Amino acid sequence: MYAAAGSGPHRSCALINAHPPTLRTLGTVGRPRGARPVGGGFAPFCPASPGWLMQIRQVVATVPANGGWHGTHREASGGMSGRALLLVVAASSIHVAWNLSAKRSSNRLVFLWLGLGVGLLLYAPLALWLALRDPFPWRGLGFAAASGIIHSAYYYALSRMYAHDFSLTYPTARGVSPVLVTIASLALLHEPLRPGGVAGIACVVAGVGFLRLRALSLPGARQAAVETIHHPAGRLALATGGIIAAYSLVDKLGVSMVDPVVYLWCSHFVAFLGYSATMVSNWTEVAAEAKRAGRSLLVVGIGQNLAYILVLNAMRLAPVAYVVPAREVSTLLGVLVGTLVLKEPAPLPKLAGAAMIVAGVALISLKG
């Protein structure tokens, strides 16, 4: 949709309401001669719109549905293709590897901050080259900045979670986020979700919940729920799940405008700056952690960026409500590593939860 040079915001609103399908073609191909894209390529907030929710929906409507540049596009069915699932599975494998390095660190928050810095240095040349090659709307950087702020909160919460019983906090956080993302994607993004896909999401969430049960019984489930609500670690995990949902939704919108590598680099740069003042004032501990970590920082610097770049590409191909629960493959891989490599016990609830995650991801892929 393009507006004449002299048109105002109210006319833009009328065009948005009258021709919503045209908002799905915001590229330069086929642009009328002499026309300009509204709002620098994306429609602005409309002063005449009835309430903030409608304004959010109008902004969401301007995000390109084709999901990207250079032929990358969302599947016409709106489901989760094999390509998107492969990206998520690969990302989950890398995610498990770098999280294992982070859990072994002495000062987790300092370690994560150093890992962010290493990643920024390593990916800077590629991000700069892609930014110069593929022009993008400045509005996309606003989403990246918002994502960076939310990720700052996430890394802080994650470092706190490592200090608690990870078998309690991690499954809770990862189980809450798909529920919140599904609700928000339906209410705000209007993503096309099929009954089979919704059943798959529910199956994944239930499977993650089973991972932290001590026994397959009603009293065991009740005890887990009480611990989640009343234990400080449980409340921290619930908050972390909300943070994961928040940055997932923001990233879904932002990566539709900006190349994933460029977008993530900008997001991590904001997150890195958010902690820099605190870290510099505690330089002795930072230097000590850097010396202790050594090559592990390379694993985190490369791994956390590569893993999430793959996830962002998957978000271009499939609804975020499918991508977020499919990421719980990392939880399944963590169970396998713990059982087969670390020789941890594998009680019945853990095995049942792992099976439910597999079934849920399969449902999302095949029936979503």
Q: pLDDT tens-digit profile of 157-185? A: 887 877 776 666 777 788 888 989 999 98
SS3 content of the chain, % helix, strand, coil (to 5): 75, 0, 25
Q: pLDDT tens digits for 2-23?
A: 344 444 444 334 333 333 333 3
- Tally the residues of the chain: 368
pLDDT digits (tens, 9 = 90+) for 111-151: 989 999 999 999 999 999 999 998 888 899 999 999 999 99
- Alpha-carbon distance of 164 to 153, in angstroms, equals 17
Tens-place pLDDT, residues 26-54? 333 333 334 433 333 333 334 334 454 45
Cβ atoms of residues 197 and 364 within 8 Å: yes
- Sequence-ordered alpha helix ranges (H) in 6-74: 9-18, 52-61
In whole angstroms, give the CA distance from residue 125 to residue 130: 9
Question: Which residues neighbour 120 within 8 Å (Cβ) at sequence distance 6 or greater?
Answer: 265, 268, 269, 272
Angle formed at CA 273 by CA 270 and CA 276, multiple of 5 degrees: 160
Q: CA-CA distances (angstroms) from residue 34 to 1, 103, 137?
A: 13, 56, 19
Give dist(CA 337, CA 251) in Å, integer. 29
CA distance 14 to 48: 10
Residue 87 contacts residue 313 (beta carbons within 8 Å): yes
Distance from C-alpha of 214 to C-alpha of 332, rounded to nearest angstrom: 17
